[in-house]
Amino acid sequence: MGDLKSAIASASAVLIVLPETVRDKDYLAALQIQKIAPQKTEMIVPEAKELEWKDSFGTQSSKREFVIDINTTITPVDELRYEKTEGVLSIYLSHKGAFNEKALSWGEHRAPADLFITLGFSSESGAKKAIENLPRKGAARHIWVEGDTNGHSAPTPTKLSIISAGLLGRLVVRSRIDTDTNTLWSFITRDDFTKTNASPRELPDLMTTYASLATLPEHALVFWQHDEAGTQGFFRSEDTTLVGTVARRLGKTPEHQHHVVLSPFANFIEAEMETRKLLRELKVR
């Protein structure tokens, strides 16, 4: 994860590419990688997969651009204007003489990238083939995130109930990554619990499921509001020593080796401010 973040930080434009048969775990991993630097990271993902998650969990579709090119050496253009009415976009070209249709071409546009990240491909050669015709800047770098290549199918994860899947979707959509502390943050609202009929008790196990499906930072902070109990949360980390340190600072005993429940807060703002202060004091990276 550290090498990947470093490569993204040094790149000017990043393109994440997924195969047509992408699995949910690879799509979730791609969404998390995109959050490292969303302003300069685009994704190529099957539209059906995006719609599947958008309909269920409200994830945003990747930005797409369609370009119309006119070869002005064949047909010079003096002026261009457009009008948009209900359901119709009309483009007007002012020129002298007849318009030569051979001057017109169109298609999907991709901005050049200097870092390509591929996930979900069974081989590096297949990943390279998927990006070979994409526009690139200079000596672009390629990182293939290797999956299961030993010829065996990955173990089938335990299936979630509809209620748990709904809450997991909100946990994913509301998460963001803080690269300074190598921490994922997520906030679950009362409305999320109401709409999914789920309970806060499920969140630690769902965070573990999330970590098994996607490439996440080493640490995570999840906060929630439920009933009238104020804002609650827990700290999760792969570093069990750090979990113990956080627990001692709070005067608590960890319920699990990988997470500890935090003391209640008045609201989400206080929760974030106080927890960031704790992470700075402990020099969490």
Say if residue 186 is in the same domain as residue 277. Answer: yes
Q: Are residues 113 and 180 in the same domain?
A: no
Same domain (yes/no): 166, 86: no
- List the end-to-end C-alpha distance of the chain, in Å, as a whole number: 12
3-class SS at 179? Answer: coil
| Mean pLDDT for all residues in the chain | 87
Tell me the C-alpha distance between 30 and 120, whole Å. 10
Going through 136-247 in order, the beta strands assigned E by DSSP cover: 136-145, 176-178, 183-188, 219-225, 231-237
73 in any annotated domain: yes
pLDDT for res 126: 83
| Whether 191 and 207 share a structural domain | yes
Position 150 in a domain: no
23 and 116: one domain? yes
Q: Do the domain assignments include residue 118?
A: yes
3-state secondary structure 131-174: HCCCCEEEEEEEEEECCCCCCCCCCCCCCCCHHHHHHHHHHHHC
CATH number of the CATH domain containing 131: 3.40.50
43 and 124 housed in the same domain: yes
- Residue 155 in domain: no
Same domain flag for 166 and 253: yes
Q: Are residues 206 and 245 in the same domain?
A: yes
CATH number at residue 185: 3.10.310.30
Same domain, 174 and 268: yes
What pLDDT, on a 0 to 100 scale, did the predictor assign at position 61? 67
| Residue-wise pLDDT tens digits, 177-211 | 998 899 999 999 999 999 999 999 999 999 988 98
234 falls within a domain: yes
Domain span at residue 84 reads 66-108
The answer to whether residues 193 and 125 belong to one domain is no
Directed axis angle between helix 47-57 and helix 24-34, to 10°? Answer: 80
pLDDT value, residue 152:
36
Q: Is the pTM of this model over 0.85?
A: no
Two tokens, residue 214:
């996607």
* pLDDT for residue 215 is more than 50: yes
Count of domains observed in the chain: 3
For residues 137 and 18, state if they share a domain: yes
> To which residue do tokens 């719609």 refer?
51
Q: What are the tokens at 148?
A: 């299961």
- Using one digit for the tens of pLDDT, what is the confidence trace for 23-34? 888 888 898 898
* 170 within domain boundaries: yes
One domain for residues 130 and 13: yes
